[in-house]
Amino acid sequence: MSELSLIFEMNGYGFFIWSAYGVWFVLLILLFLKVLLRKKEIKRKLEYLIEKNDGFEE
């Protein structure tokens, strides 16, 4: 338990270090989701249009 609290405290700088890593993690996850959701949406639209155009793609 005390070892865990030492890790979180980081000699009194825990707030700054963990906040920085938290911001880094959240922003990267949001970016990742944004990129993947865009890809998914475009794929869905493209499949619908290809089907509508009787399978003509090029």
Partner 1 sequence: MLRKLHKYANPNKFSLIIMPIKNVCLYTALPLIAIGLIIGLFFSPPDYQQGETVRIMYIHVSSAWISLFAYVLIFFLSVFYLIWKFPLFVLMAKEIPFVAIIFTLITLITGSLWGKPTWGTYWVWDARLTSFLILLFIYLGLIFIDKAFKYNVNGDLSFSYLSIIGAINIPIIKFSVDWWNTLHQPASVIRASGPSINIEMLIPLMIMSTGVLLLFFYLIFTNIQSAIAEKKILFLSSKD
Residue from the set 2, 3, 5, 35 that interacts with partner 1 by CB under 8 A: 35
Instruction: Enumerate the H helices of the chain as residue ranges.
Output: 2-9, 14-52
Question: What CA–CA distance (Å, rounded) separates 3 from 10?
Answer: 11
**Residue 6, Cα to own-chain centre: how many angstroms?**
29
Question: What CA–CA distance (Å, rounded) separates 36 from 42?
Answer: 10
Residue from the set 4, 17, 33, 55 that interacts with partner 1 by CB under 8 A: 17
Contact between 29 and partner 1 per CB under 8 A:
no
Contact between 28 and partner 1 per CB under 8 A:
yes
Positions in the binding site for partner 1 (CB under 8 A): 7, 10-11, 13, 16-17, 19-21, 23-24, 27-28, 30-32, 34-36, 38-39, 42-43, 45-46, 49-50, 52-53, 56-58
